[in-house]
Amino acid sequence: MIIPETHPRYKSLMARDRLVACIKAGITSQQGLIAHGRGEAFDYLIGERTLSSTRRATEVAAAMLLIADKPVLSVNGNVAALVAKEIIELSKLLNAPLEVNIFYRTEARARRIKELLENQGADNVLGDKLDAEIPGIEHARAKVDREGIYSADVVLAPLEDGDRCKALVDMGKKVITIDLNPLSRTSKQASVSIVDNIERAMKNIISALKAGSKSKPDLAALLLNYDNNVNLKAVIEEIRDRLKQEELNVNLK
Ligand code: PTJ
Q: What is the pLDDT of residues 234-253, one digit of tens each?
A: 999 999 999 999 888 887 66
Cβ(80)–Cβ(117) below 8 Å: yes
Q: What is the pLDDT of residues 129-162, one digit of tens each?
A: 999 999 999 888 899 999 999 999 999 999 998 8
In this structure, which topology does domain 52-238 adopt according to CATH?
A: Rossmann fold (3.40.50)
Rounded distance between C-alpha atoms, residue 8 and residue 45, angstroms: 17
Q: Is the CB of 43 under 6 A from ligand 1?
A: no
Q: What is the pLDDT of residues 73-127, one digit of tens each?
A: 999 999 999 999 999 999 999 999 999 999 999 999 999 999 999 999 999 999 9
Q: What spacing in Å lies between the alpha carbon of 159 and ligand 1's midpoint?
A: 4
Instruction: From the CA of 31, give the closest atom in ligand 1.
Output: 9
Q: What spacing in Å lies between the alpha carbon of 210 and ligand 1's midpoint?
A: 27
Q: What spacing in Å lies between the alpha carbon of 75 and ligand 1's midpoint?
A: 11
Please tell me the pTM assigned to this model. 0.96
CA angle 225/205/4 to nearest 5° reads 140
The dihedrals phi and psi of 129, each to the nearest 5 degrees, come to: -100, 95
Residue 43: pLDDT over 90: yes
Q: Is the CB of 74 under 6 A from ligand 1?
A: no
* 189: number of Cβ within 10 Å: 22
Sheet holding 71-75, edge to edge: 125-126, 98-100, 71-75, 154-156, 174-178, 192-194
Question: Which run of H or of E encompasses 24?
Answer: helix 10-24
Q: What spacing in Å lies between the alpha carbon of 164 and ligand 1's midpoint?
A: 13
Lowest mean pLDDT among 63-77, 151-165, 178-192, 207-221: 207-221
Domain ranges of the chain: 52-238
